[in-house]
Structure formats: C-alpha cells, structure tokens
Structure 1
C-alpha cells in the first residue's frame, strides 16, 4: 500500500530569527565584511531607525549598497529613460521589443507534460482524511496502524493530536507518532522530534530529538529541513554553521518554506565562499519569502530595493514592499515608510502620511529623533490629520 502521510508544517520558531541573526553577524565578521553593509536579519536597531545616507550610486551586485539605511541616490543626474524605450550608446532612443498580449490571444498553448501513471493502490484512509471524513479515516487507518503501517500511524496521530472527529488526545497521538517515527515516516520523525524538544507530552530528550530531526530532514521533510538547519546554526555559530546549514535551507526553500527562503537570502548575502550564481539569487529568494507573506522579508525586500543591495536600486518597488509590510503592522517598515514620504523616494511627498506612519511606529516604541523633529515642525492641523489617520488605521 502506498505510504502517504498528512502534511505537517509546524515550524519550530524558538530557534528562528535571533539565532540566524547572531550567526550571520558573526559570519560577516569572520568573512571580513562591513557589518554596516550587512543585510537586516531582525528589525533594525531603533537607535538608527531614521538613518538616511545620501551619496553616490548605491551599489549593485557587489553589495556596496547598505541594506539597513534609506539612501537617496543621485538620481536626477541619470540620463532620462522613457517607458517603452531604452537609451542607446549614442544618446538616442531605441524602441523596446516586448510581447503584445493581444497578439498572443488565441495562440495555441503548448501541450501539457505527460503525467506519470499511478501504479500504487490509493490510500483510502488518507483519502477520507482529505475529504474531511475523519471517523472513516480512523476506521480505515487504525487496523493498519496496529499492524505497523507507519503512514497509517502518522495519520492516526495527526487526527488524535488535533481532535478531528474524535476527542483530542495528545498522549495517544504521541504514542502513534513514536511508533511511526520508529518505522521511518519522515513526517512522524519531525513531529515526534518537536514533542521531545518541548518535553511536555513526552520526556524531553535532545539527543534523540536531534537524531529524528536530522533523519526527517535527510528523508526530505521540508519543515524538518528548515528546523535542522536552525539547529546547526545555533550549535555552530558563524561561517561554519551557516555553511553546514545552507544545503538544508536550500532544500526547504525549494519546497516553499518561506522561513527558509528568507534565511537562504541572508546566508547567500553573508557568505563569501559560495558560487556567484548563488549570490545572484539572494534577492530572488528574499522576494519569494516576501510574496509568501513573511513581513520581515517584505521589510528587507523594500530596504534592498531602496538601497540597491544585492541588485539594482528601485525606489518604487522598495516603496511598495515597505508599504505592504507597514500595513501589516511591521513597526520598522512603518518607520522607514515615513522617511520615504518625507524624501519622495518611490512616492510623492506627503507630510501627513509620513507623520501618520511615524505616529504608529512611535506608539509601538520605536523612537526616531529625526522623525520627531519633522513631526514637531508640522502645523497643528497636519498633526491632527496624522493622528486621526493613525487612529483609523489602528481601528481598521
């Protein structure tokens, strides 16, 4: 019978964020990188929340841009570029040859690739689980679980742990997770490793938990791959740990784990001794994490775009990403967005909108001397409008 397990995507967050931040910072020191030019792992230090550097061209593939500070480029000195045209070497303009979507309408699409024929028996228990027929799933999974089928044991454990159609039973679920883990089911090994790390339902056992997490990661479980990478980073700070963890971050990122995509973007930025083609993908991974809804990735993606870090500078895209993160409640993004409105970077200048975002970030505890001076320089009516808009945003 086909071995099919439910998808278990519980991420162990205790090791995320701070561990990666500290390890990347140490790696940057070991690699001889300027920490000021390092990517922002965690929200920026409130002490430099309002820093804006004004200088020459702000970096590109050589990472000379600063991912932390907002940076006004000498953009007015650049040659004019019009939409739909590019500037030729002799100063003239050439029309861009793009795809006309209307000309594509009605064009036959390529054939879909052939699917591999399914040769195994369908898993009736898991099929019932997918359709929400949880008692039917229990009836079909229990006999198989008692005979030692790891996939059925994992399915039964998942139903019991979540109380789906049956009384929630954490200890009973732990028993079946343990049985399935011993039988080699990757999802069960991951879940049972978490239970042993927590030490609430089963006895805490770090060595056994690490062994199961590693085996689950090596067997292809995406969540285990991310968590095992985090464990490697926490136990091996600096370049060594990031290098050891990178293959597992890569595998988890490819399987769509946004936390891993974010971590991979930071690792590619921090390490020197990796192929250039990987470094060139740092911004791609950051954007994928941002598109998945990871607000810290949205913040960093906005800062990378504004500062030309790990790729070309694009104020408008930077503004859009910071705006998304700010509207989702990211305090640092709200602070940075205020600076964009003040300095007209990627958006039209708007003092009231700038003050609104500053008020929101200040209420959350992020102090900024520069923005405070700006706010106090507004007239009474503008301050009132900003406070009213901030209050409406909070209520919304």
Structure 2
C-alpha cells in the first residue's frame, strides 16, 4: 500500500538557514553560491545583467538569485509515488488498495492486536483518514506508536512527526529524532530528508551540511524533489565535494525542476543563464524561468522581465517585460532598474502591460 508521506514544510522553511552564517565563518564561503568568472553575464539579485564584479561597497559578486536558505519557505512538491509492493501477498493491504475498507479493517485488526507492525500501520492510516472506521487522531497516534516500536519504517516516520509537533502525543524531541533516524536508515525517503534537516539544525555550519548530505542523496535518489534541490545546491558549492559529484549538480537541479518544484525551476533557469554548474544556455534558461513565472514565482517573474529587456533566450519585448515587472511589483518585489525601464515606456505600452498583467492567471 502506498502511504502519502507528508514532508514537514515548517522544518524545511527554517532549518538549513541556520547553517549559512556559520558556514561563511568557517571560511567555506556561501553554501549555495560561488564566484563567477570576471567576464560572466549574470542575473544578480535585482535581475540586472552584470559583469560578475561587485559594486563598490557590495557584499560580493556571487549572486545568482535567492539562495537555498532564503527560500526554504517555498511550497514543497508532492512526494513521489512509492514503488509498487512486490513482497508477500497481504490480504488486508490488498483489500485497502481496492477500496474495501471494512474488509481491510476486519483482516488487519486481529493482526494488529497481536502485535503485527505492518497491520498496526494500516490501522493507523485508516484511523487517521477515517476509512472504514471513525476518524480518530488519538487512536491513530497510538497505533503509529505501536507500529513504530515494532520497527515499521512508515510508522516510525509518521510517529516521529507526531512526537516532533506534540500532536496527540506528548512532545519528545529525543524520541522523535530516534524514530526519524531509524526510519531514514530503514529507507523511508521522507524520513531521510527530514533527518538531514535535523542534522543541519543540530550541527550549524559546514559540519551539519556534510553530515546531512548522505541522507539528502538517498532521499533525492528516491525521487524527493526538495532533497534533489538540496543535493544540487550542496554539490555545487559545499567545500570538499568530490569532482564526480560536483558535475552532477545541474542534473539534480533539473530533476527537481521537472518534478514541479517551482523553486528549482527558478534556479535551473538562473543556472542556465549564468552558466552555473555547466554551460550557458539562454534558451533553456528562458524556458525554465517562463515556466516558474507562469506558476506564480515572483522572483522568476522579475528575472523574466530582464530576459525580455536584454533579449536573452527570446526576442526583446518591452510590453511583455513590463507585464512581468508589474506582476512582481504587485507581489512586493521592488526593482529600481525595472522601475526606470517601466517609466521610460510610452503610455500605450504601459497600458498594454497593465492589461496583460490583469489578465494573467497562475497556471
């Protein structure tokens, strides 16, 4: 049976950011960005093409959009579907998968009461969702706890989340960490990602990232897009990463983008435009930034405006550039350079841009 594992977005939104300052103090540089060549064409934080050289008094030139740490609050994509079950035939799970919930309950409950962790996990899932039985979160927490103690990886992951958040059980970080680690080591992809996040939180700086990377890798290779995104960033910038891994950074970022993670869509677009972790490809950069912008990513909308102005991967189009600027400005992203560009348009061009922005709907 395929459980839908829920990644903890609040955890994803806050943990890795703790490592940034400490990593820089370690002398390892920015954990996400790297300096560009002197003659590189880049999109900086405002989206303006530059030379890769810092302005006087600027913090530095390694600016390729918002970093991993700054956008950890981005909505996460759905976890990948679990692999088809190829183990021994389980009548309870078979009935569940066919939607025969009462039959599944009748077959699973006696086994669960006798201590079968697989059946206990099924009962917990059904009780959580109210399938074949009245929805009862407290009872579900009990069954998850029983199954976790029995060693079921899915139950260990779910019970760790309950312990971490104090939902229907007493909050217990140490116990949550223990179950999360065990679930990760047992191969649960979502647990691997969350355990990596915990390692980063508990070990600020480069050390935490290095400890977490193997778990990010395992989760990424099972198809978890936000883990693929983390692996891409760390392969590209973390000191000590082997060359054979570093060359795979763009591949992991592309996999995360193809999974529908709009943050990865933004970054792969910027990577193509700036030539990060591979050759420049303005056409691909334009396509990915367009995709992220159409899905409502405000930073991508800003960057796309600059591509239209500078004819990078597309023909110049002042009205289209102004449309994307208007949309990003409405969302609160200011850009003095784009404002100057917009004010330099004719009234007719401004009107067309506003009309186009008003018609825009997130896809």
For 1:284, the equivalent position in structure 2 comes to 251
Residues 319 and 353 in structure 2, CA contact (< 8 A), matched pair in contact too:
yes
Per-residue deviation, residues 263-294 of structure 1 (Å, max 9, x unmatched): 11111122121210111111110000000000
Report the alpha carbon displacement of residue 395 of structure 1 after superposing the two structures with TM: 7.9
Summarize the Cα distance change of 1:35–1:156 in structure 2 as closer, same or farther, 3 Å threshold.
Answer: closer
Per-residue deviation, residues 167-212 of structure 1 (Å, max 9, x unmatched): 2110110010000001000100000010011112111011100110
**Residue 46 of structure 2 is aligned with which of 33, 44, 49?**
49
**Residue 302 of structure 2 is aligned with which of 301, 319, 335?**
335
**Residue 9 of structure 1 is aligned with which of 5, 11, 17?**
5
Summarize the Cα distance change of 1:25–1:294 in structure 2 as closer, same or farther, 3 Å threshold.
Answer: farther
Report the alpha carbon displacement of residue 219 of structure 1 after superposing the two structures with TM: 0.8
Report the alpha carbon displacement of residue 14 of structure 1 after superposing the two structures with TM: 1.5
After superposition, the CA RMSD in angstroms is 2.2
Alignment of 1:345 onto 2:277: no
Secondary structure at 2:50's aligned position in 1? strand
Report the alpha carbon displacement of residue 49 of structure 1 after superposing the two structures with TM: 2.0
Alignment of 1:231 onto 2:198: yes
* Cα separation, 1, equivalents of 2:62 and 2:273: 9
Per-residue deviation, residues 210-244 of structure 1 (Å, max 9, x unmatched): 11001100111110000000000011111100000
Report the alpha carbon displacement of residue 66 of structure 1 after superposing the two structures with TM: 5.1
For 1:157, the equivalent position in structure 2 comes to 124
TM-score by length of 2: 0.85
Residues 290 and 304 in structure 2, CA contact (< 8 A), matched pair in contact too:
yes
For 2:333, the equivalent position in structure 1 comes to 366
Residues 229 and 246 in structure 1, CA contact (< 8 A), matched pair in contact too:
yes
Task: Report how many aligned residue pairs link the two structures.
Answer: 329
With 313-322 and 135-144 compared, the bigger mean Cα shift is at: 135-144
Report the alpha carbon displacement of residue 32 of structure 1 after superposing the two structures with TM: 3.9
For 2:26, the equivalent position in structure 1 comes to 30
Report the alpha carbon displacement of residue 138 of structure 1 after superposing the two structures with TM: 1.0
Summarize the Cα distance change of 1:175–1:283 in structure 2 as closer, same or farther, 3 Å threshold.
Answer: same
* Cα separation, 2, equivalents of 1:19 and 1:162: 29
Report the alpha carbon displacement of residue 22 of structure 1 after superposing the two structures with TM: 4.2
Q: Which has the higher Rg, Structure 1 or Structure 2?
A: 1
Summarize the Cα distance change of 1:129–1:28 in structure 2 as closer, same or farther, 3 Å threshold.
Answer: farther
For 1:98, the equivalent position in structure 2 comes to none
**Residue 271 of structure 1 is aligned with which of 238, 243, 248?**
238
**Residue 97 of structure 2 is aligned with which of 127, 130, 144?**
130
Residues 193 and 209 in structure 1, CA contact (< 8 A), matched pair in contact too:
yes
For 1:378, the equivalent position in structure 2 comes to 345
Summarize the Cα distance change of 1:176–1:36 in structure 2 as closer, same or farther, 3 Å threshold.
Answer: closer
Per-residue deviation, residues 319-361 of structure 1 (Å, max 9, x unmatched): 0110010011000000000000000000111111101100000
Report the alpha carbon displacement of residue 15 of structure 1 after superposing the two structures with TM: 1.9
Per-residue deviation, residues 337-391 of structure 1 (Å, max 9, x unmatched): 0000000000111111101100000000000000001111111111111111111
For 2:64, the equivalent position in structure 1 comes to 67
Residues 193 and 212 in structure 1, CA contact (< 8 A), matched pair in contact too:
yes
Residues 112 and 119 in structure 2, CA contact (< 8 A), matched pair in contact too:
yes
Residues 8 and 194 in structure 2, CA contact (< 8 A), matched pair in contact too:
yes
* Cα separation, 2, equivalents of 1:150 and 1:276: 43
Residues 121 and 155 in structure 2, CA contact (< 8 A), matched pair in contact too:
yes
Summarize the Cα distance change of 1:354–1:29 in structure 2 as closer, same or farther, 3 Å threshold.
Answer: farther
Summarize the Cα distance change of 1:322–1:21 in structure 2 as closer, same or farther, 3 Å threshold.
Answer: farther
Report the alpha carbon displacement of residue 20 of structure 1 after superposing the two structures with TM: 2.1
Residues 319 and 345 in structure 1, CA contact (< 8 A), matched pair in contact too:
yes
Per-residue deviation, residues 113-135 of structure 1 (Å, max 9, x unmatched): xxxxx7x6411111111122222
For 2:140, the equivalent position in structure 1 comes to 173
| Larger RCO: 1 or 2 (CA < 8 Å, sep 6+) | 1
* Cα separation, 2, equivalents of 1:242 and 1:395: 35
5+ residue gaps, structure 1, are 40-46, 57-63, 70-117
Secondary structure at 1:67's aligned position in 2? coil
Residues 32 and 236 in structure 2, CA contact (< 8 A), matched pair in contact too:
no
TM-score by length of 1: 0.79
Secondary structure at 1:329's aligned position in 2? coil
Summarize the Cα distance change of 1:270–1:17 in structure 2 as closer, same or farther, 3 Å threshold.
Answer: farther
